[in-house]
Amino acid sequence: MIGANASTILDHYSSIITSVRDRLYRLALRVVNDADEAEDVVQDVLVKSWGQRDEIVRLDNPPAWLLRMTKHQAIDRLRSAKVRSARETEAAASDHDVRTPYRIAAANDTLGHVHRLLQQLPPAQRMVLQLREVEGMEYQEIAEATDLTMQQVKTYLHRGRHKIRALLLKEKISQP
């Protein structure tokens, strides 16, 4: 009987993770902006969630819980990466030449350029934009997943959309 119950929990937990894993990765990637770091964030979240699988399967909205955890982990990573980067910048001379061949080629890629514009926004705005524009989530769901109020979600979304449009106009990017 206990074995059957554990098996049900495991099946339920596995199906939740399968359905949400890509979303967790995309959110982590939006925050940390590095594929390896994002993968590590998701790995950490999955390892931690495994220990709490009994509670997770009983939650009303397990994906919101997992997204929230991903957000926290990703922001922690971002902070430690910033500390690392600051130390590395101190140790190595900064690169003042912005016209390297790689950078010129990258700047010509329109969608890549939109990505870079987006990364200029604060992490909270990026997350809200990601969850609305990419994941197609309702305001209430975004609020639950980010620990923000509904009003904050609407404000960040409004600001984020306006900022992206302003940057697109400023950079004069017209075609994808």
Partner 1 sequence: MMTHSEAEILLHRYFEGTTSLNEEMNLREYFRTGDVHPDLAELNPMFAYWDKAAKVMAPPVKRTAMRRRMPLRWFSTAAAAILLLFAAGTWFNDLPSLTDVPIAEAKTKTIDWSKYEVTDPEEAYIVLRNALGTASAEMNRSARITIREISEARRILK
- Residues near partner 1 (CB under 8 A): 21-22, 24-26, 29, 35, 39-40, 42-43, 47, 83, 87, 110-111, 113-115, 118, 130, 132-136, 138, 154, 157-158, 161-162, 164-165, 168-169, 173-176
Looking at the Cβ atoms of 24 and 56, the one nearer to partner 1 is: 24
Q: Which is nearer to partner 1, 104 or 150 (CB)?
A: 150
Cβ pair 126, 33 in contact under 8 A: no
**Comparison of 12 and 113: residue with beta carbon closer to partner 1:** 113
CB of 86 to partner 1, least distance (A): 10
Least CB distance from residue 154 to partner 1, whole Å? 5
CB of 1: closest distance to partner 1 in angstroms? 31
* CB-based contact 153:139 (threshold 8 Å): yes
Cβ atoms within 10 Å of 169's Cβ, excluding its own: 10
> What's phi and psi for 33, nearest 5 deg?
60, 35
Least gap, CB of 43 to partner 1 (angstroms) = 6
Decide whether 25 or 65 has the Cβ nearer to partner 1.
25
Of the two residues 58 and 162, which places its CB atom closer to partner 1 in the complex?
162
Buried/exposed code over 58-70 (b: 16+ C-beta within 10 A; e: otherwise)? eeeebbbbbbbbb
In whole angstroms, what is the distance from residue 43 CA to residue 66 CA? 12
Cβ proximity to partner 1, 23 vs 65, nearer residue: 23
Residue 148: phi, psi to the nearest 5?
Answer: -100, 165
Cα(54)–Cα(9) distance, integer angstroms: 7
Instruction: State in angstroms the smallest separation of the CB of 151 from partner 1.
Output: 11
In the complex, the smallest distance separating the C-beta of residue 171 from partner 1, rounded to whole angstroms, is: 9
Report the distance separating Cα 59 and Cα 39, nearest Å: 25
